[in-house]
């Protein structure tokens, strides 16, 4: 039986070993889909979300969806200095049939990959995006599941800065 990997420190899902392996990989950054609010934000509980990363020439570099249990992964085919466009598209599709649902919301952010995991860009959509953001940064504990009027979805890109701040 294989050894079980030691979990990362809340609110992050990576370890110091992951950071060391990333530094040697030559990849420009990492991506994680954020959605919730909810415990750990790993199970979407009604939030449907997709994050797409495109190179400046329009090529799709990565597509991720909610429900990947908070997986943070490398943006392969990138290097420090690359500019990429990240688009978040999300909606609430839960069981709250009595409450009218919002149509799909989307937001796009252009970033420059730095390769320095201390540089972090977070952005998203939804009526409770600020709450999801606060949970991800560790400033707020999750206390309830998403609802039609209280949900958010977005992306965390480590190793990136917004364009204009490079």
- The dihedral sign for the CA sequence 127, 42, 29, 75: negative
Three-state DSSP class for residue 67: coil
| Distance separating alpha carbons of residues 118 and 96, to the nearest angstrom | 39
Task: Give the tokens for residue 123.
Answer: 């952005």
Residue 55 confidence (pLDDT) above 80: yes
- How many domains, the chain? 1
**pTM recorded for the entire structure:** 0.81
Q: Which of 15-24, 40-49, 78-87 holds the top average pLDDT?
A: 78-87
State the pLDDT at residue 135.
85
User: What percentage of residues in the chain have a pLDDT greater than 70?
Assistant: 73
- Give a yes or no: residue 57 inside a domain: yes
- Give a yes or no: residue 18 inside a domain: no
State the pLDDT at residue 166.
58
CA angle 13-34-148, nearest 5°?
140
- Give a yes or no: residue 6 inside a domain: no
C-alpha atoms less than 13 angstroms from C-alpha of 152 in its C-beta half-sphere: 22
Residue 90 confidence (pLDDT) above 60: yes
- Give a yes or no: residue 17 inside a domain: no
Residue 102 confidence (pLDDT) above 80: no
Domain housing 82:
27-113+121-162
- The residue among 67 and 48 whose pLDDT is bigger is 48
- Give a yes or no: residue 20 inside a domain: no
- Give a yes or no: residue 1 inside a domain: no
Residue 70 confidence (pLDDT) above 70: no
Rg of the chain, C-alpha, whole Å: 16
Task: Give the tokens for residue 117.
Answer: 């995991």
Residue 13 confidence (pLDDT) above 60: no
Over residues 100-116, the mean pLDDT reads 86
- Give a yes or no: residue 50 inside a domain: yes
């Amino acid at each position: 039986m294989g050894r079980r990997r030691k979990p990362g420190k809340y609110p992050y899902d990576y370890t110091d070993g992951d950071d060391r392996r990333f530094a040697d990989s030559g990849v420009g950054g990492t991506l994680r889909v954020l959605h919730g609010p909810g415990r750990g934000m790993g199970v979407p509980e009604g939030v449907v979300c997709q994050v797409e990363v495109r190179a400046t020439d329009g090529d799709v570099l990565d597509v991720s969806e909610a429900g990947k249990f908070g997986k943070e992964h490398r943006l392969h085919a990138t290097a420090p200095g690359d500019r990429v466009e990240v688009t978040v598209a999300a909606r609430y599709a839960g069981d709250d049939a009595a409450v009218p649902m919002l149509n799909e919301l989307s937001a796009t952010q252009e970033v420059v990959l730095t390769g320095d995991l201390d540089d972090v860009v977070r952005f998203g959509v939804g009526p409770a995006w600020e709450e999801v953001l606060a949970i991800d940064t560790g400033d707020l504990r999750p206390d309830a599941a998403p609802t039609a009027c209280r949900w958010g979805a977005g992306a965390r890109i480590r190793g990136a800065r917004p364009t204009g701040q490079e």
